[in-house]
């Protein structure tokens, strides 16, 4: 049980975690922190947090667990503003979508990584942002990947693991490099491709005419292009090498398909589509 939880960044992920832990009876008091009083007042009105502080240093005072749930490129600034104010026993974790960059930011701020720091990433989300989009079931049956550093203590890892389990998630551990490579392929690449596809369509001459005829396939494939541009800009910038590797592989596949279509090579096209269908049909969410 967490006596006092501090969530910095009470949006979709931070807000959903707070709601899930409250519902599970796993938390005493929940304090929010962020840039804007309006966001935090809304969070309080919605029953997501009990109170808030715009001063991050004060917000973490007395907390036994601090969760950073801000966009990737805000992590370093937030870490810098709290690092002198964290009690040694306060456990610190984050929900950032790329782990190497958060660990690097923590290293730059703390020098030696603290034993109470356990980076994490819930592999769950929606295309919506902000506290209004938060809901307590978001993590139910979903995976959370922890990427402990060599300094992370077993006690801190266990506490973060238990928190996510109380929120309904199953928890796995992985090293940060593997996490960033795998998530670049399975999450970051599909988002980048969806954004690129919709952007390309929006640049076409008769865009309104083109989109008038868009139907289920367009809707299903492009839902994630409605995701928050700032969040995805930050993910691209903070996991660039792994995303570029994934894009290279995707581009090779696209080139192969272009060649097959240009050559009228129906057998090659069908084989590629069959292999893709087989993989997709076997996928269980």
Interface residue list for ligand NAP (CB under 6 A) = 9-14, 34-36, 39, 69-72, 74, 78, 95-97, 121-122, 125, 129-130, 228, 231, 235
176-183 and 240-262 helices cross at what angle (nearest 10)? 30
Distance CA 95, CA 72 (A): 9
4 vs 191, which CB is nearer to ligand NAP?
A: 191
In the complex, minimum distance from the CB of residue 123 to ligand NAP, in angstroms, rounded to a whole number:
7
* DSSP assignment of 141-174: T-EEEE---TT--HHHHHHHHHHHHHTT-EEEE-
229 vs 253, which CB is nearer to ligand NAP?
A: 229
11 vs 136, which CB is nearer to ligand NAP?
A: 11
**Phi, psi dihedrals of residue 171, rounded to the nearest 5°:** -115, 130
In the complex, minimum distance from the CB of residue 45 to ligand NAP, in angstroms, rounded to a whole number:
14
124 vs 156, which CB is nearer to ligand NAP?
A: 124
| Count of other CB atoms within 10 angstroms of residue 20 | 24
In the complex, minimum distance from the CB of residue 71 to ligand NAP, in angstroms, rounded to a whole number:
5
126 vs 149, which CB is nearer to ligand NAP?
A: 126
Distance CA 205, CA 47 (A): 47
> DSSP alpha helices (H): ranges in the chain?
12-23, 37-45, 56-59, 75-82, 99-110, 154-166, 176-183, 189-203, 207-212, 216-222, 229-238, 240-262, 266-282
Write down the residue that tokens 């928190």 correspond to. Answer: 163
In the complex, minimum distance from the CB of residue 172 to ligand NAP, in angstroms, rounded to a whole number:
15
In the complex, minimum distance from the CB of residue 244 to ligand NAP, in angstroms, rounded to a whole number:
18
In the complex, minimum distance from the CB of residue 187 to ligand NAP, in angstroms, rounded to a whole number:
8
Residue 70: which residues within 8 A CB-CB, separation 6 or more?
8, 9, 34, 78
In the complex, minimum distance from the CB of residue 121 to ligand NAP, in angstroms, rounded to a whole number:
6
CA distances from residue 103 to 96, 148, 185, 217, 236 in whole angstroms, order as listed: 10, 9, 20, 39, 16
97 vs 152, which CB is nearer to ligand NAP?
A: 97
CA distances from residue 262 to 105, 251, 258, 272 in whole angstroms, order as listed: 47, 16, 6, 15
In the complex, minimum distance from the CB of residue 96 to ligand NAP, in angstroms, rounded to a whole number:
4
Distance CA 120, CA 158 (A): 12
107 vs 130, which CB is nearer to ligand NAP?
A: 130
57 vs 257, which CB is nearer to ligand NAP?
A: 57
């Amino acid at each position: 049980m967490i006596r006092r939880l501090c969530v910095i960044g009470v949006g979709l992920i931070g807000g959903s975690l707070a709601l899930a832990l409250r519902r599970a009876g796993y938390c005493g008091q929940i304090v929010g922190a962020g840039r804007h009083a309006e966001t935090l007042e809304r969070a309080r009105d919605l029953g997501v947090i009990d109170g808030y502080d715009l001063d991050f240093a004060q917000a973490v005072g007395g907390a036994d667990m601090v969760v950073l749930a801000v966009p990737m490129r805000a992590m370093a600034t937030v870490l810098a503003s709290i690092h002198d104010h964290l009690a040694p026993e306060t456990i610190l974790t984050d929900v950032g979508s790329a782990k190497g960059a958060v660990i690097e930011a923590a290293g730059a701020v703390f020098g030696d990584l603290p034993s109470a720091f356990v980076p994490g990433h819930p592999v769950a989300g929606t295309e919506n942002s902000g506290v209004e989009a938060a809901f307590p079931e978001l993590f139910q049956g979903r995976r959370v990947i922890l990427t402990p550093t060599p300094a992370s203590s077993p006690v801190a890892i266990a506490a973060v693991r238990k928190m996510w389990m109380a929120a309904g998630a199953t928890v796995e551990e992985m090293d940060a490099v593997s996490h960033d490579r795998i998530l670049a392929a399975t999450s970051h690449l599909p988002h980048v491709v969806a954004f690129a596809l919709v952007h390309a369509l929006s640049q076409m001459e008769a865009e309104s005419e083109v989109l008038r005829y868009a139907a289920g396939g367009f809707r299903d494939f492009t839902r994630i292009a409605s995701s928050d541009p700032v969040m995805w800009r930050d993910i691209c910038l903070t996991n660039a090498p792994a995303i570029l590797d994934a894009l290279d592989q995707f581009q090779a596949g696209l080139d192969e398909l272009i060649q097959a279509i240009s050559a009228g090579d129906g057998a090659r096209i069908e084989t590629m589509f069959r292999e893709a269908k087989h993989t997709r049909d076997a996928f269980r969410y």
